[in-house]
């Protein structure tokens, strides 16, 4: 249901020395585990609505999942997709005011210009007439506003996820340039940096990718 990318400091890591992202480890060096798209239980509008107590009947041609749709009780147990109380309060207030979620949703990277790192947050949109709400996340460390960043290589992937990306207004582009990870503004006039907390290096490379449910 989604794809992930492992981006790491080229001094501390190599393609033959990739950190194990699936378990706790004491690996030295800075790396970023960038997951994109939706997980199995939140990859479409209907699932997101169920998370927030909205239950509608859709005329779907196919079940959400091959093994059958998960029970509504499960979504209640999963709770928020944002882990941000302020944003959650806004979501519930918007629901009261007849805002609706769109299908443009999923995990995306966000960049902190002050801390020089990437983090993954859940992107979504809510609309009412000509009004649109999108979440504004803050860095957990410095509290600065995070900048929504587009993994440009995903725009070339086949499927609905690529189409969704085209409808999202990104602040920055994330791409691989001759093996080096670059982050630039939309007009390419300003380049952002990543920072390794271990060796102070700012050159990062793509170490690998994976699919997840």
In a domain, 163, yes or no: yes
pLDDT attached to residue 15: 86
In a domain, 115, yes or no: yes
In a domain, 118, yes or no: yes
In a domain, 24, yes or no: no
β-bridge pairing 117-123 and 106-112? antiparallel
In a domain, 89, yes or no: no
pLDDT attached to residue 38: 82
Per residue in 169-204, pLDDT (tens digit) is 999 999 999 989 999 998 777 899 999 999 999 999
Q: Could you give the number of structural domains in the chain?
A: 1
Total residues found in the chain within this entry? 213
pLDDT attached to residue 158: 64
Per residue in 3-60, pLDDT (tens digit) is 899 999 999 999 888 998 887 676 789 999 999 988 777 888 888 998 898 877 777 7
The whole-angstrom separation of Cα 112 and Cα 42 is 25
In a domain, 63, yes or no: no
pTM: 0.91
User: Which domain does 35 fall in, by range?
Assistant: 2-14+29-43+103-212
In a domain, 132, yes or no: yes
In a domain, 72, yes or no: no
């Amino acid at each position: 249901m989604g794809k992930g990318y492992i981006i790491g400091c080229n001094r501390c890591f190599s393609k033959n020395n990739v950190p194990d992202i699936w378990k706790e480890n004491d690996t030295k060096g800075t790396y970023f585990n960038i997951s994109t798209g939706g997980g199995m239980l939140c990859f479409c509008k209907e699932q997101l609505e169920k998370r927030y107590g909205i239950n509608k009947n859709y005329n779907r041609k196919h079940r959400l999942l091959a093994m059958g749709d998960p029970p509504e009780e499960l979504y209640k147990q999963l709770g928020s997709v944002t882990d941000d109380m302020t944003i959650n309060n806004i979501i519930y207030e918007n629901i009261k005011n007849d805002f609706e979620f769109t299908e443009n949703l999923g995990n995306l990277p966000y960049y902190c210009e002050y801390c020089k790192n990437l983090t993954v947050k859940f992107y979504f949109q809510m609309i009412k007439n000509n009004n649109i709400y999108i979440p504004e996340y803050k860095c957990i460390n410095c509290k600065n506003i995070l900048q929504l960043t587009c993994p440009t290589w995903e725009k070339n992937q086949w499927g609905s996820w690529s189409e969704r990306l085209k409808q999202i207004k990104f602040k920055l582009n994330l791409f691989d340039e001759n093996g080096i990870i670059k982050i630039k503004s939309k007009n390419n006039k300003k380049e952002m940096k990543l920072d390794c907390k271990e060796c102070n290096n700012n050159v990062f490379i793509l170490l690998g990718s994976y699919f997840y449910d």
